[in-house]
Amino acid sequence: MKQKKVILIAFIIIIIGLLVVLFATGVFKIFFKAISNSDEYVMTKYKSERYGYSVKYPTTWKMDDSQKETPADLILNPSKDAAVLIQLINDPTLSNEGSFDLVSNEAKKQLDNNPKYKVELFKLVPEHSSPSSPSLVTGGFVAAGTFLGAETNQEWRFKEYGIFTKTGKAFYVRGNIKKEVAEKYGEIVNQIMDSFNIE
């Protein structure tokens, strides 16, 4: 009987130790966060036949590809304080050697010279084969920071991918979130942007 008690106590101590380790390493936090995110957003896939890309976004958000409000396809949340914009610019110079870096550096210069922008991150992405289409060579840049809105001078957070192809296509995928709700929508905006795929 005494031996069974010792084994039971040892078992309980091992379980408690295991739980402490799992909480300390964040395994439970990641697990519960993943559950809440998947429950919160049901995603749908949009495919642009006109521009040759696809992207996934929450079904509660609106996709507007009319380009009436802005020269980009627009994915907007219901409260209009978070959005992803996707714009295609044809640039035949992108087929030239070293052009990805030149176009990326020009984009950085434009951001740096705009007094409404504060760039916190700008990173070049070297040329590489696209995972979805190995014959497609892409490269470009990632930028992030804050900017002041044109009409209200309200502060927004932004993240932008410049995705260039040797076929002369420059895709600009940009997430904008009002600063006060950046924590609430940051992860889903990242998911939308990361789901972007050249078809």
Residues in the chain: 199
Domain boundaries, the chain: 1-40, 42-198
Helix pair 27-40, 182-194: axis angle to 10 deg: 80
Task: Compute, in degrees rounded to 10, the torsion defined by CA atoms 93, 98, 100, 105.
Answer: -110
pTM of the entire structure? 0.78
In one-letter notation, the amino acid at residue 30 is I
CATH numeric code, 42-198:
3.40.1000.10
**Per-residue confidence in pLDDT tens, the chain, 199 aa:** 566 665 545 545 555 544 444 444 444 444 434 433 444 679 999 999 999 999 999 999 999 999 988 899 999 999 999 999 999 999 999 989 889 999 999 999 999 999 999 999 999 999 888 776 777 888 999 999 999 987 777 899 999 999 999 999 999 999 999 999 999 999 999 999 999 999 8
- Beta strands at 155-165 and 169-178: parallel, antiparallel or unpaired: antiparallel
Tokens of 67: 């380009």
